[in-house]
Amino acid sequence: MGQFMVNINLPEDIDDNFESLIPDHRLFIDQLMNQGTISTYSLSADRSRLWISFNCRNEREVAKHINNFPIIDYITYEIAPLLFHNTSQILFPSISLN
């Protein structure tokens, strides 16, 4: 299993159709996160870019997921293979009070 960083460019002019796709897109992202396919998902403050880290076998698998995004008709993207991607959640798991 490899790690990949995807840089997604969002449209400058957001229309009503794009906005209507956001809830379905977020649901799809949440499903991929729950499966462990996506480990991080970040939106720039100016809402022009997304950065998503994927755990997949290869770039083709990453592209397959991205091409199923509800917002696919509005975005362009680049996939970069990673040597590693550290996050604080991996290093310091959350504490359970149970």
Q: Write out pLDDT tens, residues 2-43.
A: 999 999 999 999 999 999 999 999 999 999 999 999 999 999
Residue 98 is predicted with a pLDDT of 62
Question: Is residue 24 assigned to a domain?
Answer: yes
70 inside domain: yes
**28: domain range?**
2-82
Q: What is the pLDDT of residue 92?
A: 55
- Domain for residue 94, yes or no? no
35: CATH: 3.30.70.1060
Q: What is the pTM of this model?
A: 0.86
State the DSSP H helix or E strand holding residue 14, giving kind and residue range, or none if neither: none
